[in-house]
Structure 1
Amino acid sequence: MAALPDNLADLHPQTSREWFQYLNTKIDTILESQADDREVLVEFMNKTNNWIVCHDKGLMDREKLAEKHSEKIDQLEKKVNSWNVINSLGVIVAAILAALGLKGS
């Protein structure tokens, strides 16, 4: 039996042994390709997970900022409401004084 060539990719198998080695070479090529694909997939998933973590962190920061803004808006509403009460009292006092002034004249 003749010696097999070093490069089995272009082999045209004729015997059972040549077929077996040819198929093993093809299987090895497929397994290497799958390993490369697996590495690419793992790298992609790591990048995706890192993006998700950064996105979630940014989202949490924006939610905290929104809560602070909401608190500040509530405080401002309370101040405005107290000013409205004071202005209403001022209008009532001015109306009473105006009524008294009209009666006195």
Structure 2
Amino acid sequence: MDKRRFYVNVETGEISELKAGNNAQFTVYASPEEVKALRKCFEDKDHADFGTYWRAHIPFKEYHNDEDNDAFDHELLRAYKMIYQLGDEEAKEHISQYPFFKSLMDSDDY
């Protein structure tokens, strides 16, 4: 299956074939199925992020003991792993500099 070029912005969750504004944080080459999987990752991250909003209003619940924060972190790391795997050389180089990169690539959880 042919892969097409997409521009990805992790913060906004944007995936676009057109380069516009600041949507070109990373460039990936992906099939429609891979784009769908990355979009699902971003949707799951946003859903977990909404849960962290509610947790923030509960002062006695610690960050490191919170399922929503764990889910957010998991989906964010899963997105970065997908972007690394689908990304151009610049994306791979950028992501490989992150402190969590080695554990990200060593783990099958993402």
Give the TM-score normalised by structure 2: 0.28
TM-score, length-scaled by structure 1: 0.30
- Structure with greater proportional strand content: 2
Q: Could you say which structure has the higher helix fraction?
A: 1
| Bigger-Rg structure (1/2) | 1
